[in-house]
Amino acid sequence: MKFMKNNQRRLSPLKQIIFTALIFIMFFAVLEVALSLFGVQPLILTEDPMVGFGENVPLFVKQKHNDGTFIYRTAKNKLKYFNDQSFPEVKGKNSYRIFCLGGSTTYGRPYDNRLSFCGWLDSYLKEAEPGITWEVINAGGISYASYRVAKLMQELTLYDPDLFIVYSGQNEFLERRSYSKLADLPTWLINFESTLNRTRIYSSMKRLYENLRPDSFEKAKKKYELSGEVRTMLEYTAGPASYHRDDTHKKQIITHYHSNLERMTLLAREADAKIIFVTPVINIKDVSPFKSEFKEGVSESSKDLFVNLLNNGKKLYAEGNPADALKLYKQAFEIDNRYADLFFEIGRVMFDLKNYDKAEEAFRLAVDEDIAPLRALSYMRTILFDISSKYSVPLVDFEQILKQEYLKEYGHPVFGNEYFMDHVHTDDERYRILGLSLLKELKNNEIISADRTLSNTQIDKVQKQVRSSLKNEYYRESLFNLARVFDWAGKFEETKNILKKNIELYGEQGEAYSLLGMALLKNRETEDAIVAFQKAIKLGYETPKLYMRLADAYREAGRFSDAFEAYKDKLRLDGAEYEAHMLYGLLYAFQGNNKSAIDSFTESLRLKPDFLPASINMVGSLFIEKRYDEAMVMAKEVLKQDPKQFKMYYVIGQILLGRGDTEGAIKYFSETLNLAPDFKMARESLARARQLK
């Protein structure tokens, strides 16, 4: 016994630490597996770490098919954003179910699913391996950003998917959202908690703790809640003008994009499905930045010099002197090295000088510095490669595929109108090429048999079958969609040119002239807009909206009697008499006849007492007529209906200032500026009130 005792070995301190660590790891590994068996899911699979959603309306709803079986079909209330798609509730034994996810490019814009890359892939798969029942479902949503795609994927994991194909990254800046509370937390803490959210142990503990005692840390991370469906900033604000430089917010959005792609990857794995990412492509050469803004710290005199240099450079370029233009651009660059439009103009010069590498670099900087980023930034590509490498996810590099096509056909790799229909959507031939590239990727991943290579004859056969089924009306409507995209993005010159092309290709159509008139009016080409509207009417196309816009054009041209007649025609079509009286009031007001304007607004409100536009315009006319008591009462009534009507605060402030109530005036002017920080008159009035005080 003594011999045995003397020969016992004690573990060294290092081995004791390793042994303890192994026991610790094994314990938590077993616990993680046990929680998995009990159906506990990591938080990253069940919620977005940065934003919440106000509603949860499913994309697909169950319907009974004619044969008594059940199918899932796109919900009717979702058809504004999604293609009409359907698939069986129960997947067949020989079926393979693929969901294509992303934004409007996945949808197929300016076309629909039939010419989308998802539609082409469907056709190619059926030709390549007809023995399998391929279910290729296009779940691409117009204006859908990655956080909405990830949310949608949660639903799609319930439908027995085999593969997700994700093309996302163009819409990350479309919706207004805030990360302000999240930004107050240290970066390392956000990243650390994001890692813990992937574990079931931490997720269980966190859920339990939150139920028992929400603390200050959780309050700091309170999420910004988005609406259940997309509301883009361009649709309910002043378009690109509502965007401003915010580098912190931009960084947060890019971080969120990374988180969303990671979340999609884990959601696919949890559903025992594969996932393939596609790199987004953009038009950099032929679409200028949507908004440029000076960087902080540039003085007013320097801004004036910069604008002169930029404008003179553009003039030299237009006259065929790109080298001289570049000299001025270099001087402007010394003043501001972040002005998006300057990079775009440098890119144009470099392209003309055939320095394609420098041109591409400048064009991409123009996109990255765009204050209204409606195209995927270069950072998105880097993130996609990071996720692909980290999780061994297949990545179809569409950008590289198109570069090879460009080099072969044009001798340069700078993407422009040659292959693109607008700022982000390619033509149907490029969608076809992407569909074919995805087919090859499926073969590489052994989803289709190795010997199922399509011959050129089969590829041509598929092309003819798809395109022969589409009529001219389909392509005409696609051009309308394209025009609507540019109009939505505030690119009215491009909108105008597309509609003119539509008329040239497919003949005169009332709807085309109506849309053209609206684009011309927004582009301040008033007389041409009037001509276009009149042509639409002659072709038999009459809508209340057309007559509204025609009246606006007449008013801008000073043709008030014609504007009255246009409003009467609108009234004839929709019978909205209360609105007509409000519009008559506006015309009187523009002519300076505020007494008649007040009479018209009064009649409008008699017919519809809660008609806010009439009340708002009434306040303005009462104020001009110096009927201050009535103006103040009505302004306060307006604010009860809509507290965000900043001009009402301004009017009340002016009335109070005129009465010597500087304290009250300061309060109302301050509230005006809280709602509209760029309202110059309110800022000046506030300064005057403070000076008087």
Pick the closest to residue 439 from 430, 452, 425 (CA basis).
Answer: 452
Q: What integer pLDDT is reported at residue 238 of this predicted model?
A: 46
What would the 3-class secondary structure string for 103-125 be? Answer: CHHHHCCCCCHHHCHHHHHHHHH
CB distance 195 to 203 below 8 Å: no
Phi, psi of 199 (to 5 degrees): -100, 145
**Distance between CA 656 and CA 623 in Å, rounded?**
12
What is each CA distance from 149 to 144, 178, 568, in whole angstroms?
6, 18, 46
What is each CA distance from 260 to 128, 200, 267, 388, in whole angstroms?
33, 19, 10, 13
At 158-208, the pLDDT tens digits run: 999 999 999 999 999 888 764 545 444 455 555 555 555 556 555 555 555
Q: What integer pLDDT is reported at residue 331 of this predicted model?
A: 97
Classify 617 as helix, strand or coil. helix
Q: Distance between alpha carbon 75 and the CA centroid of its chain, in Å? A: 22
Name the percent of the chain lying above pLDDT 70: 83
Q: With 90 as the cut, is the pLDDT of residue 16 above it? A: no
At 548-573, the pLDDT tens digits run: 899 989 988 989 889 888 888 888 88
| Range of weakest confidence among 363-377, 460-474, 579-593, 625-639 | 579-593
Quick one: CA torsion of 308, 309, 312, 313, rounded to 10 degrees? -150
**Distance between CA 439 and CA 442 in Å, rounded?**
5
| Range of weakest confidence among 28-42, 211-225, 287-301 | 211-225
Mean pLDDT in residue range 136-151: 94
| Range of weakest confidence among 147-151, 258-262, 474-478 | 474-478
**Distance between CA 356 and CA 362 in Å, rounded?**
10
Task: Tell me: cis bond preceding 413? Omega within 30 of 0 counts.
Answer: no
Instruction: Tell me the chain's radius of gyration from C-alpha atoms.
Output: 30
Mean pLDDT in residue range 606-627: 91
Name the percent of the chain lying above pLDDT 90: 57
Q: What integer pLDDT is reported at residue 219 of this predicted model?
A: 45
CB distance 573 to 547 below 8 Å: yes
Mean pLDDT in residue range 580-603: 88
Angle at 340 between CA 339 and CA 341, to 5 degrees: 100
Mean pLDDT in residue range 631-653: 91
Q: What mean pLDDT, rounded, does the chain reach?
A: 85
Give the number of C-alpha atoms closer than 13 A to the C-alpha of residue 649, restricted to the C-beta side: 23
Q: With 50 as the cut, is the pLDDT of residue 296 above it? A: yes
Q: What integer pLDDT is reported at residue 338 of this predicted model?
A: 95
Phi, psi of 137 (to 5 degrees): -110, 125
CB distance 462 to 124 below 8 Å: yes
How buried is 398 (Cβ within 10 angstroms: 0-12 exposed, 13-18 middle, 19+ buried)? buried
Residue 238, both tokens = 């002043």
Residue 118, both tokens = 């998802």
CB distance 603 to 630 below 8 Å: no
Q: With 50 as the cut, is the pLDDT of residue 236 above it? A: no
At 329-388, the pLDDT tens digits run: 999 999 999 999 999 999 999 999 999 999 999 999 999 999 999 999 999 999 999 999
Q: What integer pLDDT is reported at residue 561 of this predicted model?
A: 86
Q: What integer pLDDT is reported at residue 223 of this predicted model?
A: 47
Of 194 and 428, more confident: 428
At 461-509, the pLDDT tens digits run: 999 999 998 888 888 888 888 888 888 777 888 889 889 988 988 889 8
Supply the DSSP symbol for 49.
Answer: S
| Range of weakest confidence among 127-141, 143-157, 386-400, 494-508 | 494-508
| Range of weakest confidence among 41-55, 229-243, 272-286, 353-367 | 41-55
Angle at 628 between CA 623 and CA 633, to 5 degrees: 100
Greatest mean pLDDT range, 204-208, 529-533, 670-674: 529-533
The sign of the torsion formed by the CA atoms of 579, 480, 279, 165 equals: positive
Q: What integer pLDDT is reported at residue 581 of this predicted model?
A: 86
| Range of weakest confidence among 11-20, 105-114, 382-391 | 11-20
Mean pLDDT in residue range 504-521: 91
Of 524 and 237, more confident: 524
| Range of weakest confidence among 78-92, 121-135, 315-329, 664-678 | 664-678
Q: What integer pLDDT is reported at residue 117 of this predicted model?
A: 97
